[in-house]
Structure 1
Amino acid sequence: MIGRWLVNKVLDPLPVWLQVMLLLAIFSPVAWNYTFSAKDAAFVFHNHVDRPIHDVNLNGKWIGGAAAHDGNGPGARGGAICCGKLDSEEVELTWTVSVTQSQYDAGLRKKSKRLLVEIPERPNDELYLHVHIFTDDTVKFFWSESTKSDY
């Protein structure tokens, strides 16, 4: 009620064309951002390495981590992390390969990795970007409508 009174006090003395211009100036940036900005994506990380991987980042956005892969099934999977924008086709992927206790006792130590990769073209209805890391430090991405993986 106070807001309506205040708006009427400010807008009533102005001509209609100026009222319309003020409203367009206020709402057009919001409409532009909603219409033309990159869509949000959810990220699902899959580990196909026999060592735990943590601190996985895609362009600085943390997308999770996963336990060591046991050799069975589609890889150890972290949860779905929501939401982030992907504004470019090439992104920087960083991750830290950790160790289990037995691997540590065998002399292995954690190490950080960095890779520039291209994101595949995104179909309009796909929300989940699956990030797969394999033993030879190869990375594969694919878009999906669900958190299930094809690999």
Structure 2
Amino acid sequence: MLMDVMIEDRRWRALDLGALAERAGRAALKHLNLDPEAFEISLLACNDARIAALNEDFRGKPQPTNVLSWPSEERTPARPGAVPAPPEPGDDSELGDIAIAYETCASEAESGGKSLADHATHLIVHAVLHLLGYDHIRDEDATLMEACEVAILGKLGIADPY
């Protein structure tokens, strides 16, 4: 199993977040020609209060956000728009950790006219790409990352979120 899911906020259970996260993570890795059986990701399904504390501790931003990710190692390429080098199975099997917040995700899904399941799937795909070295700070990197997200979500039957 790719995803090790810890559910702190029980509202995530109604969504069957474990199965949703597994499907999203596997789709992201397969899209990048990586074997999901060779890797592990930890996912914390929490609420806004918990993610706000994590956001303050790790980013100095004391407010909730939808999703956070902590890669096991830095994989972002130096050249803007370059594809990150893939991790190697074995020593590099733990890709990192993700936290996702219920209230923020539910609010964003509602305001965007999306289902919570589709929005959560998008955010998990987004976070998995972060673990793999994709980013959206530089314009060239954002273009690459968004194209990957749209392609992965399309394979899952989810419309372009952008």
Higher relative contact order (CA 8 A, sep 6+): 2
Question: How high is the TM-score relative to the length of structure 1?
Answer: 0.31
Greater helix fraction, Structure 1 or Structure 2: 2
Structure with higher Rg: it is: 1
Structure-2-length-normalised TM-score: 0.30
